[in-house]
Amino acid sequence: MPSDPVNAAAPERIYTLREVTRLLRLTPKRLTQLRRLGLLPEEQAGFRFRDLVAARATAALLESGATVRQVREALQGARRLAPDAAEPLSELRLHLDQNRVVVERDRLRFDPRTGQALLDFQIGDLERETRESLATGVVRPLTPPADAAEVWFARASEWDADPARWESAVDAYERVVAIDPGYAAAWNNLGLIEHRMGHYERAGEHYRRALSADAACCQAAFNLGALQEDLGDFATAIGWYRRALELEPEYADAHFNLAGVLAKTGRNETAALHWRRYLELDTGSPWAQIARSHLEGGQGPEPDE
């Protein structure tokens, strides 16, 4: 019996990659990032509307300043928060809030890494207390709401980009780990500031605390590699960079730095493997130009820290 043309469901529209790129106005860099996140794989022949929704939401998140690594962690968390959803991004909203990715669902906010609900918290009081702590040299213990560690972390993440505010950032990160000693990202970022300030021993301690809190914290392993490279211990640096890549095989920066150290130690063929892998992950940045220059036989300029 023929189907009723009125009641029959219309076939779902399938979009080509070219159509997706045009509809979402994706730049080559953004397309590469979405592929790295597994959203627009090259081997997929066509894409459904829900794929467009996910790609558009993720592209908007990247446009707002989120890193690929932040987005990847948030997507993993979103899938945990909505395990039955065919495409979690159709049910959840992800956005960048004070340098961290937050998931919203049914008007509630969640930390995608832990699934913990986040409460509203006034930042003004925290800023006032921080100023008082810096003026007096006394860090008062807090009895904060459950998400205070997240609030301090967000504020510290704003401050740590400005060398003039590193002292404030250190104070804030120390508050985070006092509230939550298992907060690996805070230990790692605290180590980064100490590293930048030339406090190498303290930096190493903080990076190791990050790995103790989360053995999968590839950023801390990478930073330990960078620290040992700065100290001239290339063998140990290579070990840490390799550890970072074991934890995150697509960690572009780890491929870049590992290639550089291998080249410094005369292991040019092995270095070339990592230069090439880096170029698969990053094709258009100034760092990619440096990698190409190494592969073409030139020394290439040293990247700025």
pLDDT above 70: residue 135: no
Q: Mean per-residue pLDDT for 85-94?
A: 57
- Mean predicted confidence (pLDDT) in 42-52: 78
Domain identity same for 135 and 280: yes
* Whether 113 and 127 share a structural domain: no
Residue 110 and residue 195 in one domain: no
Regarding whether 161 and 290 lie in a shared domain, the answer is: yes
How much is the average pLDDT of 244-248? 93
DSSP string, 44-112: ---B-HHHHHHHHHHHHHHHTT--HHHHHHHHHHHHHHSTT-SSGGGT-EEEEETTEEEEEETTEEE-T
Looking at per-residue confidence, does 177 or 139 come out higher? 177
Q: What is the mean pLDDT of the chain?
A: 76
pLDDT tier at 98, thresholds 50, 70, 90: low
Average pLDDT score over residue span 217-243 = 95
| 142 and 113 fall within a common domain | no
Averaged pLDDT, 57-64: 77
Q: 59, 89, 118: which is the final residue of a domain?
A: 118
Tokens 């395990």: give the residue.
83
Q: What is the mean pLDDT of residues 273-298?
A: 86
* pTM attached to this predicted model: 0.54
Q: Mean pLDDT check: name the lowest of 20-29, 132-141, 160-169.
A: 132-141
Residue 262: what pLDDT?
95
One domain for residues 98 and 151 = no
Give residue 95's identity as a one-letter amino acid code: H
Q: Is residue 8 part of a domain?
A: no
- Inside any domain, residue 301: no
pLDDT at 119 over 50: no
Task: Please name the residue ranges forming H helices in 137-233.
Answer: 148-159, 166-179, 184-196, 200-213, 218-230
> Hey, what are 158's tokens?
């704003």
| pLDDT score of 75 | 72
**pLDDT confidence tier of residue 169, bands split at 50, 70 and 90:** confident
Q: Within this chain, do residues 112 and 249 fall inside the same structural domain, yes or no?
A: no
Residue 84's pLDDT band, with cuts at 50, 70 and 90, is low
Nearest Cα to Cα of residue 242 among 78, 13, 234? 234
User: Exposed, middle or buried, 167 (CB in 10 Å: 0-12/13-18/19+)?
Assistant: middle
Q: What is the pLDDT of residue 117?
A: 45
Q: Looking at residues 23-43, what average pLDDT do you find?
A: 83
Split at pLDDT 50, 70, 90, the class of 37 is: confident
Last residue of a domain, one of 76, 100, 118: 118
Which residues does 137 contact at the CB level (< 8 Å), separation at least 6? Answer: none
- Domain hosting 102: range is 17-118
144 vs 268: which has the higher pLDDT = 268
Do 150 and 109 have their domain in common? no
Say which range, 15-24, 227-236, 261-270, 272-281, has the weakest mean pLDDT: 15-24
Residues 87 and 171 in one domain: no
Q: Which of 103, 118, 133 is the last residue of a domain?
A: 118
Higher pLDDT, 165 or 87: 165
Neighbours of 101 (CB within 10 A): 23
Q: Within this chain, do residues 104 and 149 fall inside the same structural domain, yes or no? A: no
Residue 211, pLDDT score: 94
Residues 6 or more apart whose CB falls under 8 angstroms from that of 124 comprise none
Cβ(221)–Cβ(195) under 8 Å?
A: no
Amino acid at residue number 124:
G
Please indicate, yes or no, if residue 6 is contained in any of the structural domains.
no
